[in-house]
Amino acid sequence: MDIADIRAKTMDELRDELIALKKEQFNLRFQRATQQMESTARVRQVRRDVARIKTVMREKRES
């Protein structure tokens, strides 16, 4: 996910995206625990996307 795309979204869209990523992160944790994970790099990517979205949300709240 590109930071420019994230900044272009509204707060509601960011909240929806954050919820979707949190659900995916939860499912990935289960896949890792049951050793059914196909892409281990996806865990890192989702975690960083969550951080990016939270950062942009904080920036929008402060301005």
Average pLDDT over residues 33-44: 93
Question: Are 7 and 63 contacting, i.e. CB atoms less than 8 angstroms apart?
Answer: no
Residue 17, domain CATH: 1.10.287.310
- Give me the domain span that covers residue 37: 3-62
pLDDT band (50, 70, 90) for residue 63: confident
Domain count, the chain: 1
Q: Are 28 and 35 in contact (CB under 8 A)?
A: no
Distances in whole angstroms, Cα of residue 57 to Cα of each of 14, 37, 41, 53: 7, 30, 25, 6
What's the pLDDT tens digit per position in 11-37?
A: 999 999 999 999 999 999 999 999 998
Cβ atoms 42, 28 nearer than 8 A: yes
* pTM (2 d.p.): 0.91
* Rounded Cα–Cα distance for residues 17 and 19 (Å): 5
